[in-house]
Amino acid sequence: MSSDKLEKSDVRRAWFYVAPALLWTMAFFIVPFAFMAAMSFASLVRRKIVYTWDLANYLEFFDKPYLLKGLFVSLEITLAVTLISVVLAYPLAWIIAERVPKRLQRAVLILAILPFWTSYVVRSYSWLLLLSSNGVINNALMGAGIISEPLQLASTTSATIIGFVHFFVMLLTLTIYSNLVQLSPNYKRAATDLGANTFQTFWHVILPLTLPGIMVGAFLTFVLCIGDYITPQILGGNNELVLPQIIMLQLGRRADLPAAASMSIILMLVVTAVYLLCLRWLKMERT
């Protein structure tokens, strides 16, 4: 068989293997996204959707302060969750990689990812039970005489951040751990031979080499957190709405599909912008 025929056969075989994934992506991402993008250029007129093909929905979003506030609150919570999760996850990942014996690391990692085995809704309601006025934390503080009346812990932005951090710190631990265990011990030996102390070795050698793992975990945290609806709805209440909550209100109360579609597109553009900012480190991770 000639080389040209072999190449054609390999190409057909490759398309055969790739086709199911491409068809799945086309059916459940590209087509719905195209429909949503087209819907964002429509208007709701007397409860009927009319395709006006203008920017009215986008202009309305930036013209209404409470809609912009929803975006800013989403960014505020997401950035806080990402930063706190990185600060908590890095020491945990380092302890597992450097201090836990290798024969026990797998068991410790299993314990670390236990939150992933629990339903997302169950985790959120568990935190609500802990943070509510009659919850474990308030009852313990009042029983110890530290406070005289319950603290407002639930239905706050802080409660939403706590619920998110509980989940995402484990995700970041895994991505950072995977980078730490791949580092050769020779890097630390070389830094020590050159006169670097422990902090200098970490700051100038270990941290830069593990930065791709941090950025991958941070980007995944950002994407999952900024688009989440359940945790802010359960733990945050309706005091400060995030953008996903506002989108759901457009769908549930007003049935305004065009407005919801335009807000979803704006949310995706924000995620795309963050992806472009992180692209340098994400490329490093792929290589």
Percentage of the chain lying above the pLDDT 90 cut:
33
**Do residues 214 and 85 make contact, with C-beta atoms less than 8 angstroms apart?**
no
Domains contained in the chain, number: 1
Give the C-alpha separation, 14 to 17, whole Å: 5
How many CB atoms neighbour CB 176 within 10 A?
27
Q: Is residue 247 part of a domain?
A: yes
pLDDT per residue as tens digits for the range 238-270 = 778 899 999 999 888 888 899 999 999 999 999
Q: CATH number, domain at 93?
A: 1.10.3720.10
Structure-token pair, residue 275:
């992806």
| pLDDT band, residue 84 (cuts 50/70/90) | very high
**Position 140 in a domain:** yes
Which structural domain range is residue 237 located in?
A: 64-286
The neighbouring-strand residues paired with 48 are: 45
Confidence of residue 113 (pLDDT cuts 50, 70, 90): confident
Q: Indicate the pTM of the whole model.
A: 0.86
Residue 45 domain flag: no
Q: Is residue 1 part of a domain?
A: no
Say if 209 falls within a structural domain.
yes
What are the tokens at 211?
A: 């930065």
